[in-house]
Amino acid sequence: MRGFFAVFAICAWLSFVRTAQATPELRAELGWQGSCDDTEDLVRQVRARGAELELREASLPPEEAAHAVRVDVSVQSVAPSALVAEIQLQSEAGKDSRRVQASACGDLRSAVAWVLVVLAQQRVAEQGPPSASPGEQSAPSAIGTFPVAALEPSPPPNQLAPAATVSPEPQSPPARNRHSSAVRSSSWGLGFSFAAAFGFVPAPSLGPMLFGRYRSDVRWLPELQLSVLRLVTIGYEPNGTSLSLSRDAARLGAWVPLVGKLELGFAAEAGRLLATGSGSTLERGSSDSTFWFAFGVPLRVAIPLLGRHLQAELQAELDYAPVPYTFRYGSGDTLTSTSAFEGRGQVGLVSLF
């Protein structure tokens, strides 16, 4: 009976040792650029798939750097609900690249974790026992051909071909990670633009605009933008009288994507309209002011300048002011009236973070 328990204990110990030796382990230098950077979650994602990830410092001694794996991940947002990660892999065996795509940060890190797990499997196969049985085939030595093995009940992505799009397996991240992903996926922006308006009166209006915006990671919520602007007419002289109209207003807008970089918005603005005139039929410095409000439907297109952090924007819109404004002489006769519709164009820069 004792001999039976001894044999059982030895078999269990050998099974444990073999299982521990079979666990793939990857030691890598990780460089992550862009959003969704969560090293702790990435390590957990790799461990959940049956492998171990040990991250080392970027600056290693020359003797260790020669055997280290360099993993560079660059994340870009190609659409409000599309994140793409370019993965560059480099080791003593060569270089390769992968591309994965997801709609949320947690799923994107899950896809990156699959790439690292498969790389860890390959390196274990490359460093396997020196004497292999004749029936076994040796693993390839280049990074470009990743063997795919099932490490858990749900299968990994099929055939990680270069520059392919990998769809991560459906996995619900923990509540803390989901909150972290939502924070990292949202974006803020600050910008400046110059506007030109036509049609308000028979003369152009020019002026600057400052704005700030916020985009949530919830795909069905629009982007919100709050602006302050000042528009002043130039060269307006009706009936020999020099007349200046200035508008100082605050503006709230909501934006939704249409196609590519084109977006459609709806805006409402309110502020103060000041009219100042002088001439032979007016007392010098005659002025009047009133409350101003209008609605607009703008279209804008973004042109990236420095990745996703700095972009130029072009905008065209049609505005409607439901209440016209009338400027009168001292005698009460009408000098000029404003139009209900106005066209505007803008060009500006915005920094996203």
pLDDT of residue 147: 39
User: Three-state SS for 179?
Assistant: helix
User: Three-state SS for 122?
Assistant: helix
**Arch. (CATH architecture) of 186-352:** Beta Barrel (2.40)
Q: Taking Cα atoms as reference points, which of 343, 229, 335 lies closest to residue 275?
A: 335
pTM: 0.50
Residue with tokens 């164009």: 345
Residue with tokens 């079979």: 22
CB atoms within 10 A of CB 321: 20
Alpha-carbon Rg for the chain, nearest whole angstrom, is 32
Sign for the pseudo-dihedral over CA of 281, 285, 286, 291: positive
**CB–CB of 250/227 below 8 Å?**
yes
CB atoms within 10 A of CB 85: 24
> Distance (Å, rounded) from C-alpha 221 to C-alpha 300?
18
Q: Taking Cα atoms as reference points, which of 118, 124, 119, 120 lies closest to residue 155?
A: 118
For residues 60 and 347, the model is more confident at 347
Torsions phi, psi for 251 (to 5 deg)? -140, 135
Q: Mean pLDDT lowest for which of 44-58, 175-189, 284-298?
A: 175-189
Q: Is the pLDDT of residue 172 over 50?
A: no
pLDDT digits (tens, 9 = 90+) for 302-341: 999 987 789 999 999 999 999 988 877 666 667 778 999 9
**CB–CB of 253/227 below 8 Å?**
yes
Residue with tokens 């933008």: 225
Structure tokens at 348: 């500006």
> Distance (Å, rounded) from C-alpha 186 to C-alpha 82?
12
For residues 148 and 48, the model is more confident at 48
Confidence of residue 18 (pLDDT cuts 50, 70, 90): very low
- What letter would DSSP give residue 171? -
pLDDT of residue 10: 57
Instruction: Determine which helix (DSSP H) or strand (DSSP E) holds 120, and give its type and residue range.
Output: helix 105-126
Strands (E), the chain: 25-33, 52-56, 69-79, 82-91, 94-102, 187-201, 203-215, 223-233, 242-257, 262-279, 282-306, 310-320, 326-328, 334-337, 341-352
Q: Name the percent of the chain lying above pLDDT 90.
A: 29
Helix pair 105-126, 39-48: axis angle to 10 deg: 60
Domain boundaries defined on the chain: 22-180, 186-352
- What letter would DSSP give residue 240? G
User: Three-state SS for 148?
Assistant: coil
For residues 162 and 229, the model is more confident at 229
Torsions phi, psi for 39 (to 5 deg)? -65, -40
**CB–CB of 168/100 below 8 Å?**
yes
